């Protein structure tokens, strides 16, 4: 049972309880429940719309819609940090790295990657989409900040699986063995990465991002319900004070 479902269920129970309790306390509980349910459901819908297209909601399914930008981001990350000229020089200079050493070098290079730019690009894409307004209501980019570490962890897992595949390792080894100049190596590796990324479909990109961050987005629903409930409680209390109850 996930956090979002529990939050929505609690808000619904408060709403039902408020509708049967006598005044004036019933009104307070009802207002709290309705506002909490509104906040939690809105954020649940926003999270769903990040990954899946909802008929009638323009801009929903933003991850799949922007899958080309996501693939471009992966390519830039791999080529600029993973297969930079400096890293390739290190690769060629270390005799013990050749052959079976390929598998030993890549994981350590992945651990050294700076994934903050990749996360910032994803966060920017979300904020510039039609979902940006909803995310902005609960803190904007700061609300997504808690996903930075889970995103980096999932991205490293994906890159490790990507470079550990036998086909990629063999193709990379063959191409490195066939050339001796860094520029030539970079060109061939870039072509190899391009071909692999071209195989990615929007559904696969959506699945990759879901594995990275979806389970952590439940906190957006929780805080949407909490903030909504507090606003509902405040609204009800002010109403009671104005009515002299």
Q: What pLDDT sits at residue 16?
A: 94
Rounded Cα distance between 137 and 124, Å, is 16
Q: Which residues does 114 contact at the CB level (< 8 Å), separation at least 6? A: 81
Domain limits for position 75? 3-243
Rounded Cα distance between 83 and 189, Å, is 8
Take residue 7 and report the two structure tokens written for it.
Answer: 């939050």
Please count the structural domains in the chain: 1
Q: What pLDDT sits at residue 34?
A: 94
Q: What pLDDT sits at residue 100?
A: 52
Angle subtended by helix axes 67-77 and 182-198, to nearest 10: 150
Give CA separation, 243 vs 23, 238, 240, in Å. 13, 9, 5
Classify residue 34 as exposed, middle or buried by CB count within 10 Å of its CB (0-12, 13-18, 19+): buried
Give CA separation, 237 vs 110, 230, 240, in Å. 54, 11, 5
- Specify whether the CB–CB gap between 49 and 64 falls below 8 A: no
Q: What pLDDT sits at residue 206?
A: 78
3-state secondary structure of 65: helix
What is the tens place of the pLDDT at every residue in 52-103? Answer: 888 877 777 777 777 788 788 888 888 877 777 777 766 665 444 445 556 6
Q: What pLDDT sits at residue 35?
A: 95
Q: What pLDDT sits at residue 97?
A: 46
The series of mean pLDDT values per 10 residues for the chain, 245 residues long, is 86 92 87 94 86 79 78 81 72 50 72 82 78 70 79 84 76 62 73 82 78 78 92 90 73
Q: What pLDDT sits at residue 153?
A: 86
Q: What pLDDT sits at residue 245?
A: 57
Classify residue 210 as exposed, middle or buried by CB count within 10 Å of its CB (0-12, 13-18, 19+): middle
- Which of the 8 DSSP states describes residue 180? -
Query: Got the DSSP string for 72-134?
Result: HHHHHHIIIIIS-HHHHHHHHH-GGGSTTHHHHHHHHHHHT---HHHHHHHHHHHHHSTTHHH
Q: What pLDDT sits at residue 95?
A: 43
């Amino acid at each position: 049972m996930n956090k979002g479902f529990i939050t929505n269920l609690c808000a619904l129970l408060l709403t039902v309880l408020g509708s049967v309790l006598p005044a004036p306390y019933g009104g307070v509980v009802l207002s709290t429940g309705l506002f909490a349910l509104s906040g939690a459901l809105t954020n649940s819908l926003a999270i769903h719309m990040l990954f899946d297209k909802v008929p009638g909601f323009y801009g929903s399914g933003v991850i799949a819609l922007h899958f080309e930008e996501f693939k471009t981001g992966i390519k830039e990350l791999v080529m600029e940090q993973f297969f930079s000229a400096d890293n390739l020089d290190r690769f060629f200079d270390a005799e013990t790295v050749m052959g079976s050493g390929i598998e030993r070098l890549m994981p350590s290079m992945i651990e050294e990657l700076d994934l903050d730019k990749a996360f910032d690009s994803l966060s920017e894409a979300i904020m510039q989409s039609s979902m940006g307004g909803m995310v902005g209501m609960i803190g904007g980019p700061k609300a997504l900040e808690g996903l930075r570490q889970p995103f980096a962890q999932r991205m490293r897992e994906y890159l490790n699986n990507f470079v550990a595949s036998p086909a990629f390792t063999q193709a990379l080894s063959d191409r490195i063995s066939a050339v001796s100049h860094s520029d030539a190596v970079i060109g061939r590796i870039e072509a190899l990465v391009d071909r692999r990324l071209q195989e990615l479909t929007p559904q696969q990109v959506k699945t990759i991002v879901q594995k990275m961050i979806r389970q952590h987005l439940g906190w957006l629903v929780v805080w949407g319900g909490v903030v909504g409930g507090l606003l509902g409680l405040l609204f009800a209390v002010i109403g009671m004070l104005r009515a002299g109850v």
